[in-house]
């Protein structure tokens, strides 16, 4: 019995391994085209990891649809989704741009007053450090500092800031600000969703065209809120999961 279980496990292991073949590639600097030694390459679908040698070369098991994440010290982390051309070429070139940080000019002067300094901190927009999937545009988040009704009527806020709570409740100016915030927030979510889920991006990843492409986008029926709050990779995975079901129904009907 133990022998039979061992044979089954080994057969399953070989079957899973057989689905993936080696991808041979080289990692280079996108500006100088110099080889990057010690770059990390991870297949997040297979859970495998390797690094490039002194010539920037590597090999890693993969199959069509796997996502490979490339990272190297001093360079931006990028990800590519494997396609069929990877397995018909002797070597695939992957270019990583330098992760350069440009600082704005600083003029030394009088230190701002406390209230102005606090406003400057609140208005500062942090850089989006989410993982960038190759071919998908990055989207910058926009802060909404205006208090919502549920916040300024919160018993804890009312207890510690009674004057501010009354001000936010009766001030016409604050009410107008909240209306404008709601409009801006709705517009921001819509714009961010459209940037992530474009017709061109769906076509590039699904290879669908024309009416079939339009029907698939409608079939996905992703809400703006979902697209705005989900990562590009999560959207890609869900979209590709829906694709076989869509094709089956489209051919039937």
Half-sphere CA count of 54, side-chain side, radius 13 A: 0
Pairing between β-strand 40-43 and β-strand 132-133 as defined by DSSP bridges: unpaired
Spatial neighbors of 74 by CB under 8 A, at least 6 apart, are 98, 99
For the record, the structure tokens of 227 come out as 């697209």
Q: How far is CA 64 from CA 23, 133, 196, in A?
A: 10, 16, 22
Q: Are 65 and 23 in contact (CB under 8 A)?
A: no
Q: Is 233 exposed, middle or buried, given 0-12, 13-18 or 19+ CB atoms closer than 10 A? A: middle
Q: Are 142 and 128 in contact (CB under 8 A)?
A: no
pLDDT at 122: 64
pLDDT at 111: 66
What element of type H or E holds 61?
strand 57-62
What are the structural domains of the chain? 2-96 (2.60.40.10), 103-148+181-253 (no CATH)
pLDDT at 16: 44
Q: Per-residue confidence of the chain (253 residues) as pLDDT tens digits?
A: 445 444 444 544 444 444 778 999 999 999 899 999 999 999 998 889 999 999 999 999 999 889 999 999 888 889 999 988 898 888 999 999 988 765 566 666 666 677 777 777 666 655 555 555 554 445 444 444 566 777 777 887 777 777 777 777 777 777 777 777 767 777 777 777 777 788 898 898 889 888 888 998 899 988 888 888 888 888 889 999 999 988 888 887 6
Smallest CA-to-CA distance from 38 within 50, 46, 24, 22 is with 50
Q: What is the DSSP letter of 65?
A: T
């Amino acid at each position: 019995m133990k022998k039979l279980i061992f044979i089954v496990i080994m057969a399953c292991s070989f079957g899973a391994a057989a689905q993936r073949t080696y991808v041979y590639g080289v990692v280079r600097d996108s500006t100088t085209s110099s080889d990057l030694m010690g770059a990390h390459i991870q297949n997040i679908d297979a859970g495998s990891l390797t690094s490039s040698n002194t010539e920037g070369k590597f090999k890693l098991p993969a199959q069509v649809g796997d996502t490979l994440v490339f990272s190297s010290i001093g360079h931006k982390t990028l990800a590519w989704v494997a396609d069929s051309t990877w397995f018909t070429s002797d070597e695939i070139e992957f270019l990583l741009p330098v992760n350069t940080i440009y600082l704005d000019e600083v003029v030394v002067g009088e230190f701002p007053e406390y209230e102005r300094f606090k406003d400057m901190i609140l208005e500062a927009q942090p850089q989006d450090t989410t993982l960038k999937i190759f071919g998908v545009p990055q989207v910058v988040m926009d802060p909404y500092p205006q208090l919502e009704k549920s916040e300024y009527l919160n018993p804890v806020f009312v207890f510690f800031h009674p004057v501010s709570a009354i001000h936010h409740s009766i001030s016409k100016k604050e009410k107008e600000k909240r209306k404008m915030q709601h409009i801006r927030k709705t517009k921001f979510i819509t714009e961010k969703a459209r940037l992530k889920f474009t017709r061109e991006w769906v076509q590039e990843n699904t290879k669908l065209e024309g009416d079939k492409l339009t029907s698939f986008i409608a079939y996905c029926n992703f809400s703006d809120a979902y697209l705005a709050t989900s990562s590009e990779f999560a959207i890609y995975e869900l979209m590709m999961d829906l694709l076989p079901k869509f094709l089956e129904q489209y051919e039937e009907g």
